[in-house]
Structure 1
């Protein structure tokens, strides 16, 4: 039917966000950066290699298999006429599994910061599915999100265990913002990774044999060098993956091999690293059903369904608006500089 692209994100928003995140994250006592900066074209290609070439990295394959088995159940539970996919990128095989199962689907709304990814996905899908309206939205779903008018019921999907990359306060703000968008009959579909043996988890994020994950992790330094004129030397950092048993998340870090000072001219910033000092580049939280249900409930969402893979590796949670308003929920808003 039609392909529409709407921009709600200012043209300079990505560059401004990178500057803010680097200044904020690298001037903290415990240095950190958000994982979204891995994903330039090279980083995205490296991540694709991780999902296909690293045998220990199970999340993408397990979620795809789970969707293949349960997309029909999700469709029956939601009867969605509009699918809104957050952080969609180029439409993946998993997206197509959902689109194929939603037999009454009228509109697909991919949401991403990349206009080129949205246009590529939209052109492919409108060619494949002539009866589908595609309305791409250039936006950051972690900020205030305004959705285009579309027929209900609506299903908002966040796949790829992406929810695990948000810190607890960020997850609370996200769930609350989703609750504000959802109307009766709408639903939120979350792909989550489950708590499991730490050796399995660490192996998924630390493939020493291929070195692909190390290259992916260090790509954030290459992005900062290119965009901000920094002089990071990636080989001066070591890739590290650790399991935090208390918080039940994996941390990816870059550990400085020596004492060094990095110059970032675009920010007029010098960043000192001690030998052995870590820069956290990603958290990947793992979930248990009761804990996730509590997080959703605090934001005014009931867990209406829970689907797990046969090996209990990953799950899909379906949240729907609760009948009563939550008590003491966070107001949606920015979470800048809380890392």
Structure 2
């Protein structure tokens, strides 16, 4: 779920805990100094932003969630067979942990579930529900930057493979170089195990446009919540209602770009620094890259993963890959 030109600095720097306003202030100020202006989408996910994203996943225009759920419902048993018994599942960017339930239900004696997410309040609430629903499962939530090395719980004797779960095509929020670095990190964390990962596929631009410009305006509210958060936590002074949500598909880059465009001249402050916006000035807030199956598998192979299986929805809009990690 950013100005139209390519960014001069990395669009998606490493995640930080959602309760660190100094990090938010520093990165927001740096992004507003940049040309084009930009803010990392990691800052979408305060408690309000996480709840809005859950709403987005239920929208009729937003196909990724329902298509990936359909794939899991149809093929979870096959996935579980490849993962094996007594597995430890690490979910990156866990959110509400809705999709992993289909996988947990299909697995043979899953031993541990480690959800990792930036939004601590949202994560702990989801983990508490999972503990109640899966009393035999060791649920260990980790509030952390999952794009950096994370201190995972030590493996226990008798456990099966350590398997990563990264649904939702969140890999598309990284630019290609960052995606490569992130996959290399996972290849090390999951050594000897594997990765079950979702990718949104290249398709009709009209379908993509509708998914990020829903009629109910939930995605627009999600995008603007970044400014609401900046006003609440940093007293920035954004005139939130004078920013337009703007999302479009860039076919050359094979990505959706999301932006916030100021409708009028205004000034904001981050700490003691003033930033001036003219009417039409934009903040680039997110990229969402789309993939071909062959292109993504080639990217994963560069860092040592081996593609072993792929599953699709009926329209072939979405793909889930089983990648074996290097031993």
Q: TM-score, normalised by structure 1?
A: 0.86
Map of 2:235 onto structure 1: 229
Alignment of 1:94-243 (within 5 A): 94-150=99-155, 151-184=159-192, 186-207=193-214, 209-243=215-249
Structure 1 residue 27 and structure 2 residue 24: aligned? Answer: no
Contact 1:79/1:104 (8 A) holds in 2: no
Cα deviation, 1:10-54, whole Å, max 9, x if unaligned, reads: 9787334312320221110111111122222222232222222x3
The structure-2 alpha-carbon separation of the partners of 1:194 and 1:26, relative to structure 1 and needing over 3 Å to count, comes to: same
Q: Secondary structure at the match of 2:56?
A: helix
Q: Give the length in aligned residue pairs.
A: 309
Contact 2:21/2:234 (8 A) holds in 1: no
Select 1:50's aligned residue among 56, 60, 64.
56
The Cα of 1:311 is off from its aligned counterpart by 0.9
Structure 1 residue 298 and structure 2 residue 305: aligned? Answer: no
The structure-2 alpha-carbon separation of the partners of 1:45 and 1:12, relative to structure 1 and needing over 3 Å to count, comes to: closer
Q: TM-score, normalised by structure 2?
A: 0.89
Map of 2:315 onto structure 1: 311
Select 2:82's aligned residue among 77, 80, 91.
77
Contact 1:21/1:33 (8 A) holds in 2: yes
Contact 1:305/1:318 (8 A) holds in 2: yes
The Cα of 1:168 is off from its aligned counterpart by 1.6
Residue segments in structure 1 that go unaligned for 5+ positions in a row:
1-8, 324-339
CA distance in 2, matches of 1:314, 1:166: 17
The structure-2 alpha-carbon separation of the partners of 1:144 and 1:14, relative to structure 1 and needing over 3 Å to count, comes to: farther
Contact 1:56/1:203 (8 A) holds in 2: yes
The Cα of 1:200 is off from its aligned counterpart by 0.5
The structure-2 alpha-carbon separation of the partners of 1:284 and 1:49, relative to structure 1 and needing over 3 Å to count, comes to: same
Select 1:252's aligned residue among 250, 254, 258.
258
CA distance in 2, matches of 1:13, 1:235: 25
Contact 2:118/2:145 (8 A) holds in 1: yes
Residue segments in structure 2 that go unaligned for 5+ positions in a row:
1-14
Q: Secondary structure at the match of 1:262?
A: strand
The structure-2 alpha-carbon separation of the partners of 1:250 and 1:299, relative to structure 1 and needing over 3 Å to count, comes to: same
Contact 1:37/1:220 (8 A) holds in 2: yes
Map of 1:65 onto structure 2: 70
Cα deviation, 1:93-133, whole Å, max 9, x if unaligned, reads: x1110110112311111112334333323322222222111
Cα deviation, 1:268-296, whole Å, max 9, x if unaligned, reads: 22112232122111111111111111211
